[in-house]
Amino acid sequence: MTRRGRAAAAALCCAVLAQPTAALAAPGGPSAAASPGGAGTGALPPIAQTTGAARQEGCVKPSGSTTDRTPWAQIFLRPEAAWPLSRGAGVTVAVVGSGVDGSSGALDGRLVPGPRLQGTGGSDRDCVGHGTFLAGLIAARQRDGTGFAGIAPAARILAVAVTDDTGTTTAALLAAGIRAAVDGGAAVVAVAVPVAAGSTELAAAVRYAADRGVLVVAPAAADGDTGTAAAAEVFPAAYPEVLAVSGIGPGGSASNDSASNGGASNGTARQGGSGAARIDLVAPGTAMTSIGPGGPGHFTGSGPSFATAVVAGTAALVLGRRPDLTRARLLDRLKATAYRPGTTLPDPVLGWGTVDPVAAVGVELPEETVHGGPGGAAGRTAPGVAPLPPTVPDPAGRQAVLLAGGVLAATALVGGAVLVLARGRRRGWRPGRWTA
């Protein structure tokens, strides 16, 4: 190759490699864009499911830190790829937890205060910060200067407060909260805090939601549960009508807060459960970034409850695109389009796989027939769980191979063109000497 040819090839190669690489983040490890904190910001303060007795004297303080970077969970799931089809508009998701503080501005015009069933003030008061964090994961709009956004940034949030100022609740309060969410018009109910034992009242509230076509999503374990203790079921996730969710970390495997240790039981059935935690779906739940109380600052948190919010947001995206889906078919779609773990399904730790917002919104299931456009009920057959092939969300290895292949192909084309021109000149060719 001539000196001019080598220079042209090098310029093309460098131009290709200079393209943005944020999309090359691997499920096995977030890119720099996914790390907590942004330029000029401090470490993000934590938000927990409960604050414990030590925090009874005060509430979670506003965060003085923000991040301009995109959280790893968004890079992993790519919900923005589904937004041209649905952003969750017209869908109400209830957050049954510590309340939802709207002072961040990320939920402006879409936060509906429901009842507060325990504690003082309204449901827009969030002393713990946990409910606000989950609401942000579900539906926060992307603000200028930050990469963070909720899964369904046009969905409405119905706040139903059922905890005290430490995040503690009871089965009776959860039951009342679920009923209030259903009566308030929610299509999806995200239960933020589980309880160790169920009750007849809570089981009836779950059935009340199911009978009215409302999907209840709940964590399959309390945040922070690890080891054999995490195998014990919690409520309402233990009830068969509830979509039970656990968390994964940046590597795509079950996080330390997973609700199962292989499906083993460390207890007997309690109040209508089986004793061992059931997991239906998993979602990112470790080192999550979202909003909190008191202003526009960001927080971080880890646990199955945060994964629950991601699944609830995905359900809102689906209903925004297909508003006539029944509860049962919404469940089928979420399971059928999940990233499969490559094991016998449902896997005891990963359930039917990792929720996939893009596929859940856009894929037409093989056994699903729709007349009258997306969301039409007529002519639809029950899809069950379709045998979709395993997929991986934008793995860096595959993208790197494709990028390298493109560079090599471009280099070969430039080199070939230079070689042809050189040979032509040696044979006396000049532009314009060849005619048809």
Kindly state the tokens that stand for 26. Answer: 């691997």
Are 291 and 363 part of one and the same domain?
yes
3-state secondary structure of 181: helix
Does one domain contain both 373 and 415?
no
Structure tokens at 218: 């709940």
Whole-structure pTM over 0.85, yes or no?
A: no
Dihedral sign (CA 314, 316, 317, 323) = positive
Q: Please state, in angstroms and rounded to a whole number, the distance separating the CA atoms of residues 219 and 191.
A: 7
Residue among 358, 428, 420, 368 at smallest CA distance from 394: 358
pLDDT tens sequence for the chain (436 residues): 434 343 433 333 333 223 222 232 333 333 333 343 333 345 899 999 998 654 556 899 999 999 999 999 999 999 999 999 999 999 999 999 999 999 999 999 999 999 999 989 999 999 999 999 999 999 999 998 899 999 999 999 999 999 999 999 999 999 999 999 999 999 999 999 999 999 999 999 999 999 999 999 999 999 986 433 346 899 999 999 999 999 999 977 786 444 433 333 333 334 455 567 899 999 999 999 999 999 999 999 999 999 999 999 999 999 999 999 999 999 999 999 999 988 999 999 999 999 999 999 999 987 665 433 443 333 333 344 443 333 444 444 334 434 444 444 554 554 555 454 455 555 555 544 444 3
- Structural domain includes residue 40: yes
| Tally of domains in the chain | 2
Do 304 and 234 lie in a common domain? yes
At 389 the pLDDT is: 38
Q: What are phi and psi of 243, to 5 degrees?
A: -85, 110
Cβ–Cβ contacts within 10 Å for residue 154, how many? 18
Distance CA(216)–CA(166), nearest Å, equals 23
H or E segment to which residue 175 belongs: helix 171-183
Task: Tell whether 117 and 82 lie within a shared domain.
Answer: yes
Domain co-membership, 71 together with 83: yes
The Cα–Cα gap between 98 and 126 comes to 6
Full domain range(s) for residue 420: 395-429
User: How many whole angstroms separate alpha carbon 392 and alpha carbon 403?
Assistant: 18
Alpha helices in 304-395 (DSSP H): 304-321, 327-336, 357-362
Query: Do both 378 and 412 map to the same domain?
Result: no
* 422/383 same-domain check: no
The residues near 181 (Cβ < 8 Å, ≥ 6 apart) are 94, 96, 114, 158, 160, 189, 209, 214
Do 276 and 376 share a structural domain?
yes
Residues 386 and 400 in one domain: no
CATH number at residue 311: 3.40.50.200
pLDDT of 83: 98
pLDDT of residue 423: 54
pLDDT at 373: 40
* Residue 22 forms part of a structural domain: no
Tell me which DSSP letter residue 256 carries: T
Take residue 334 and report the two structure tokens written for it: 């979420």
Q: Where are the beta strands (DSSP E) in 242-347?
A: 243-248, 281-284, 288-292, 295-301
Which string of b and e fits 244-267 if b means at least 16 CB within 10 Å? Answer: bbbbbbbebebbebbbbbeeebee
Do 322 and 415 reside in the same domain of the chain? no
